[in-house]
Amino acid sequence: MIKEIQRHVAQAAARIRLAFRGEIVLVNAAAAIQLVQAHGVAGEVLQGAELMQHYGFTSNPPAGSVCVVLPLGGKTSHGIIVATEHGSYRVKSLKSGECGIYDDLGQSIILTRDGIVVNGGGNPITFTNTPSITLDTPQVTATGNVNVAQNLVAQGNISDLGNKSMANMRTAYDGHTHTDPQGGNTSTPSQPM
């Protein structure tokens, strides 16, 4: 009798699909929850499987990404995707505790043990829809030109490569007497710059 019950339980359990790996073919990112077409390891095609992601984080995994499918109620047709990965694009060799976000273009933001590294992947980085940006740091270094579309306002001094400051240049100019090469009057600026 016990062997008969065990046989029936084993038959019922065999009909329940456990979590399995698949490969993403196509993603519909327009829906409230992304819908995925994927191939399962047994060759089955999943149509419209929901891709569950953590709140505040979203991605559209490219074709060829590996996924983990969790069949709700043990049925493949009611599977949801709970994880995705694409080894070709994943940032590798992170140290323990480090994390990041990345895409298939080489763009990434990595929280490393030595600081935050932002890689634009050769594309521009844009900050938009913000009334201001505050850099609360003792030093900002730019390795290229800094182009300012409007005014540059400094609360401190501005220096050049020769360590000459705007204040030093103002002092030199304000005390300067100019002689007109045409024989005219000499003049001293009436107001400081």
The full set of domains in the chain, from first to last, is 2-85 (2.40.50), 89-136 (no CATH)
State which of 40-44, 90-94, 166-170 shows the largest mean pLDDT: 90-94
Residue 19 is given by DSSP the state P
pLDDT of 188 higher than 70: no
Contact (Cβ atoms closer than 8 angstroms) between residue 22 and residue 40:
yes
Residue type, 142: A
Per-residue pLDDT reduced to its tens digit, 106-161: 999 999 999 999 999 999 999 999 999 999 999 999 999 999 999 888 888 877 77
Residue 78 banded pLDDT, cuts 50, 70, 90: confident
Residues of the chain above pLDDT 90, percent: 58
pLDDT of 176 higher than 70: no
pLDDT of 24 higher than 80: yes
pLDDT of 47 higher than 60: yes
pLDDT of 175 higher than 70: no
pLDDT of residue 44: 84
**Phi, psi for 119 (deg, rounded to 5):** -115, 115
pLDDT of 186 higher than 70: no
Here the tokens at position 174 are 């304000």
C-alpha–C-alpha distance, residues 124 and 133, integer Å:
17
Which residue bears the tokens 């030109």? Answer: 145
pLDDT of residue 171: 72
C-alpha–C-alpha distance, residues 81 and 46, integer Å:
10
Q: If we measure between CA atoms, which residue out of 74, 82, 103 comes closest to residue 36?
A: 82
